[in-house]
Amino acid sequence: MSEKDREVATRVVRVSAASGAYDVHVGAGILGRVGAVARAAAGGGRCCVITETNVGPLYAEGVEASLASAGYHVAERLVFPAGEEHKTLETLGTLLEGLAERELTRDDVVVALGGGVTGDMGGLAAALYLRGCPVVQVPTSLLAMVDSSVGGKTAVDLAAGKNLVGAFWQPAAVVADVRCLRTVPREQLSDSVGEVVKHAVLADPAMLEELTREPVADGTLDDARLVGVVARNVEIKRDVVNADERESGLRQTLNLGHTIGHAIEAASDFSLGHGSCVAAGLCIVARACARAGWCSAETAARIEAAVRAQGLPTGTELGADELMGFVAHDKKRHDDAVNLVVPEALGSAVVRRVPLADLRSLIERDLVGRPS
């Protein structure tokens, strides 16, 4: 075994949401355990892997072999085209028809293998098929490992905006193998760190400083360090989900940076990465909050320094009119206001109900693109 592939202890984080408890397994070289984890957590006789065209050729065969060795009858996998542009009702319908054709029952298991899009699509398909069957999330991107695979949010996009159709459906288990990150392009890995920075701002100032000194995407972090980063992020999200599974209060803070970030993402027709958009949205909001006196200038500067260290954008060239058009369709909107997550200090965030007109005024000084 090479030094690069030396054994690293797997960390298991227990999530105890109101609708059900499950374990998140974070390790190095653990894809071969997916079958055993699924068997212990979900049971069932049949399973079907849902994946996409980039990830499937890399990992699906090995995961299916693991499932077969655990006693599952493995149905023909379902593969959809990679990319956020395919996270649609049409793709979802194709997946649901595929599960029906493979004659899965509500006791059988869907395995969502891939990044955040696959986790959302596979999770929502499992939530809807026969009114719900177990899903095991096997995230292969950093973004999916630290964020979307944990917490039970599943969704597809509409033309009006991102994640507007979905359901809460907690997984039976999550298996995150950090060695999958070796096949992730550096640009995509860097993009994913946007959510890591967000978690650090919310709950771990020390991790924020570490991220500034040692960027995740520079390729120098070994498996043990990556396992630690992923597990710590899962713990942060776990604590929020345990307290507020359905986003009625505390969980809304996980939307830090997302109100503007989702607008940037939608305005780009999803050509920009989610993490990059969240990072830009986080910085725009932090600077606006500093100007409004809702946080200190130092807090905004430290957030921006951490984002810049990852090679992520700290702003956008889009104009206020275009961004606010998408914010108006955000699912966090309430009448003529939106719930905005404000970083009061590192490690502390609150939700403010901000009128749309006031939000426009807060952010427009930051926007250097088309005249507003």
258 catalytic residue (yes or no): yes
Distance CA 244, CA 13 (A): 17
The catalytic position among 39, 77, 238, 274 is 274
Active site residue 195: yes
Of the listed 77, 87, 162, 255, which one is catalytic? 255
Q: What is the CA radius of gyration of the chain?
A: 20
Of the residues 39, 77, 86, 251, which is catalytic?
251
* 274 classed as catalytic: yes
Question: Could you say which of 258, 287, 304, 322 is catalytic?
Answer: 258
List 162, 198, 237, 238, catalytic entry: 237
Q: Which of 25, 39, 86, 153 is catalytic?
A: 153
Q: Exactly one of 84, 245, 247, 265 is catalytic; name it.
A: 247
Q: Which helix or strand (DSSP H or E) is residue 79 part of?
A: strand 78-80
> Is 247 designated active site?
yes
**Distance (Å, whole) CA 370 – CA 321:** 9
Nearest by Cα to 56 from 101, 112, 131: 112
| Calpha distance 265→278 (Å, rounded) | 8
Phi, psi dihedrals of residue 161, rounded to the nearest 5°: 170, 175
**Catalytic residue (choose from 262, 287, 302, 304):** 262
Q: Is 262 a catalytic residue?
A: yes
- Can you state the angle between helices 274-292 and 356-364, rounded to 10 degrees? 90
Compute the C-alpha angle 278/315/348, nearest 5°. Answer: 50
Nearest C-alpha neighbor of 217 from the set 275, 161, 171: 275
- The catalytic residues are 131, 153, 195, 237, 247, 251, 255, 258, 262, 274
